[in-house]
Amino acid sequence: MIIDDSPVVRKILEVCFSRAGLSWVSFPDGAQALAALKQPFVPSAIVLDIHLPDMDGLAIVRLLRSNKSFDETAIIILTGYDSFLSRLRAKRAGVDCFLSKPFRVTDLLATISRYARKGEAYAGPTNA
């Protein structure tokens, strides 16, 4: 699952995931992503930005980590706000990995493979 308000970043991730053979779904904000997560599926990995238009990405992380259904979901922050404090807050919220923009696709795919169950970006319906 991809959660990023930038259409360019979402498109880059979608293309990269597709080329890597990963299934995915993407959302421009936290509200849409959380609504999708109410359905009976649990993504293997979530790649999200910290700063989203409707809610803080770390608030999403805390909500997910408070639900045991998402204990095995890899949560990866991909953000342009790379500071010691941002990394510390992300770790305390329950993030598995923190990557900063600009990023290398190979690093992101390796991170997903390392943390996600079966290396899948999304375990649900076909790409949206």
Residue 33 domain-assigned?
A: yes
| Strand extents, DSSP E, 63-117 | 74-79, 97-100
**Domains held by the chain: number:** 1
- State which residues form the domain around 65: 2-119
Residue 84 domain-assigned?
A: yes
Contact present, 71 and 42 (Cβ < 8 Å): no
Q: Six-digit token pair at 16?
A: 């990269």
- Cα 109 to its chain centre, rounded Å, is 12
Task: Give the CATH number for residue 49.
Answer: 3.40.50.2300
**pTM for the complete prediction?**
0.87
Residue 124 domain-assigned?
A: no
Residue 42 domain-assigned?
A: yes
Q: Could you give the C-alpha distances from 127 to 31, 54, 97, in angstroms and in order? A: 19, 23, 24
Residue 125 domain-assigned?
A: no
Q: What is the pLDDT of residues 17-41, one digit of tens each?
A: 999 999 899 999 999 999 999 877 7
- DSSP string of 24-40? --EESSHHHHHHHHTSS
Q: What is the pLDDT of residues 92-105, one digit of tens each?
A: 999 999 999 999 99
